[in-house]
Structure 1
Amino acid sequence: MYPSWSIIIPVKPGGEVKAIEALKGMDYPHHLVEIIVSEGCRPSCQRNRAAATATGELLYFLDDDSQVRPDFLRRATTHYADRHVAVVGGPSLTPPSDTPLQQAFGAAFSSLIGGGSVRNRYRLAGAARSAAENELILCNLSFRREIYSGCGGLDERLYPNEENELMDRILHMGWELIHDPELAVMRSQRRRYADFVRQLFTYGRGRGEQTIVSRKVNCASLVPSAFLLYLLIVPFLDNPVYTLPLLCYAGTVAITALWEAWQRKMAVLIPFLLLVIPTLHLSYGAGMVVGLARPRFSKASSQAEVKLRRVQL
């Protein structure tokens, strides 16, 4: 017996939902699937409002441009046969049709020095396995509806990082989270360098705000901010020995750029990566500082305007 699913897609007012086209080809009984498009300007609220009206036993959150594989619901369903599993998701991959700059963004995210502990969100690595929030991403993530609702859903004060905070709570309640690379979706990276800078600043700010809400410090997430502080201080230090960490960093970035370009057989990525990887660290680090110092918590999130519509396949 197949379980029923509610697929929830947040979108800006009037925005195009490119994910629908791929959903039309999914290999799952269509009568057991409802698709809810949630329009608004606060994604956390949009997802919660849609989840509150959902009728499916399982919730699947996609972004408006997530391109799924035909068998994604069947594969996710197999993991939920284990009653200890509360969350299932997969990575978000950069499509080969993206520009070299976009490919560099994706390569930076999936590299060890760029993505670090979250790099598996952006690459195919290993087999299906138990995971923590650092391997899962909200553009390709499912929950048992009863657990999602029982935990109060996403904390609407947060965006982004709302899913990380929720998954951390679920994990510490004793439930299991699954990362399955075979559930990968395709999503294009930001088109412009300035958009990438804003994206990473927002990610860092979201992590800072999550730290305040959860009162849990992820030491790895503080490293970019520490690096930014080091760069601001090092010009005022007289001893040349203090520049050694910077030289080591530059060498590591260069090696990473060469390796990622060789892996993809795209030499054109090298100069882009030499710029993109430091940008990733510095933008994230600056965002983290701002998120910790000036969180954007809003008491009016419950008043956010959200419009829901159901899409027939």
Structure 2
Amino acid sequence: MNDNQPVSIIIPVRPGGEVRAVERLRTVNYPAGSIEVLVAEGCSPSRQRNRAAAMAKGKLVYFLDDDSLVDPAFLQRAVERFVDPRVAAVGGPSLTPATDTFFQRAVGLVISSPFGGGGARNRYRRTGAARPSSERELILCNLAFRRELFLAFGGLDERLYPNEENELMDRLLTDGWLLVHDPELAIYRSQRPSFRAFMRQFFGYGTGRGEQTRIAGLRHGIDFAPAFFLAYLLLLPWAPTLLWFIPLICYGALLIAAAVAAAWQGRAPAAIPLLFILFPTLHLSYGAGLLKGVLRPRFAQSQTEPPAVAVRVIKELGMPWAAAGVARADNDGRLTP
């Protein structure tokens, strides 16, 4: 693959939302003429990304979030991973900035730990070497695809958000393509700023996994552990014997060990009391969302008109950053004056 492979960077954003990611892109060590930047406005991120990918002119489409802060070398590193023609997608972790608040950094400790993030924890920490991977380690706020392949597979399933990228990557793996996780291909994104936002985040993640299960079938049985734990707690008041409390005691022991280990690894002993709250909150929110996604998926409810999407071309291929302008697109993805 050519070192100066044209890349289209796609950033979904709510209408009128701030796009912090663009300013960092101006510092990237990659030929400016080989970079295209599209911002897709709307209220359906999977639809926004699909519309922008259909318009994109790059050989690769690189998806970032509006607050994804990249390293200057990230594009060159990503392009190098696509030298192998079997590679369909390349991504790296989303790390917690050191400038985040105490609460946000505690959230970062939770989701990057085995007890909190589980098999997905490497999405939130830098560890190991670049390697073939699965959807468990890759995250859409920092993920590149071969554009033609992305379109050939129908892009993201617009019934899903989140977990739209997980469903697509599972299909790619089933078809024999490779996914690569590169720990050094990291971006920085702030964690949710409040307890309520954290709960909503993991309720949403659980809902997305449940809806993905309804569409594609059960992929990872361990995902349902939080749902079973939630059901267990709801039934506990009617426990016939004290033996029913053994799983709760075991969970408490694991919680203590996990909180101490995460605080030790993060050099944040003062976070231990907060971690005692955040770990169960993550598990129970995710479990509740997963049950909702399985039992009452949003795509099975009454459908409304597809949400409108407008794509702004922030920077075109062949254009230096200094001359970058803005164009708009209608909802079908055709550029308008």
TM-score bracket for this pair, using the shorter chain length: over 0.9
Q: 1: distance between equivalents of 2:178 and 2:220? A: 20
Deviations 1:26-49 (A, max 9, x none): 000010000000000000000000
- Residues 1-313 of structure 1 mapped to structure 2, 5 A cutoff: 1=2, 2-297=4-299, 303-312=306-315, 313=321
Change (3 A) 1:52 1:300: farther
Preserved contact between residue 6 and residue 58 of structure 1 (Cα < 8 Å): yes
Following superposition, the deviation at residue 125 of structure 1 comes to: 1.2
Give the counterpart letter for 2:197 in structure 1: D
Provide the secondary structure at the position in 2 that maps to 1:309.
strand
Native 8 Å contact 1:18 1:66 kept in 2: yes
Answer yes or no: is the 8 Å Cα contact 1:157–1:301 preserved in 2: no
Matched-pair contact (CA < 8 Å) for 1:105–1:276: yes
Shift of residue 300, structure 1, vs aligned partner = 5.5
- Per-residue displacement from partner, 1:256-275 (whole Å, max 9, x unpaired)? 11111111211221111100
Per the alignment, residue 328 of structure 2 pairs with: none
CA distance in 1: counterparts of 2:109 and 2:159, whole angstroms: 31
- Offset from partner CA, 1:63-119 (integer Å, 9 cap, x none): 000001000010011110100001000000011111111111111111001110100
Q: Secondary structure at the match of 1:307?
A: strand
Q: CA deviation at 1:299?
A: 7.8
The structural deviation recorded for 1:303 is: 2.8
Distance 2:284 2:253 in 1: 17
Supply the AA of the counterpart residue of 1:63: D
SS in 1 for 2:298: coil
Q: Is the CA contact (8 Å cut-off) linking 1:45 and 1:302 kept in structure 2?
A: no
Give the root-mean-square deviation of aligned CA atoms: 1.2
The structural deviation recorded for 1:218 is 2.0
TM superposition shift of 1:310: 1.2
* Identical columns (%): 53
Query: Structure 2: how far apart are the matches of 1:212 and 1:261?
Result: 37
Deviations 1:236-294 (A, max 9, x none): 11311211111111111111111111112112211111000000000000000010111
Amino acid of the structure 1 residue aligned with 2:68: S
- Cα deviation for residue 215 of structure 1 reads 2.1
Runs of 4+ in 1 over 4 A off after TM superposition: 298-302
Amino acid at match of 1:227: F
Q: Which amino acid aligns with 1:45?
A: R
Q: SS where residue 178 of structure 1 aligns?
A: strand
CA distance in 1, matches of 2:255, 2:52: 42
Amino acid at match of 2:142: N
Decide whether the 8 Å contact of 1:4 with 1:33 is kept in 2.
Answer: yes
Which whole-Å CA distance do the structure 2 matches of 1:166 and 1:219 have between them? 19
For residues 118 and 38 of structure 2, the distance between their equivalents in structure 1, rounded to whole angstroms, comes to 34
Distance 1:25 1:299 in 2: 45
Give the Cα–Cα distance (whole angstroms) in 1 for the partners of residues 193 and 173 of structure 2.
Answer: 35
TM-score scaled by length of structure 1: 0.98
Q: Greater helix percent: which structure?
A: 1
Structure 2 distance, partners of 1:41, 1:144, is: 25
Corresponding residue for 2:329?
A: none
Q: How many residue pairs were aligned?
A: 313
Retained in 2: the 8 A contact 1:45–1:301? no
Letter in 1 for 2:164: E
Where does structure 2 lack aligned partners over 5 or more consecutive residues? 316-320, 322-337
Contact (CA 8 Å) 1:205, 1:290: kept in 2 or not?
yes
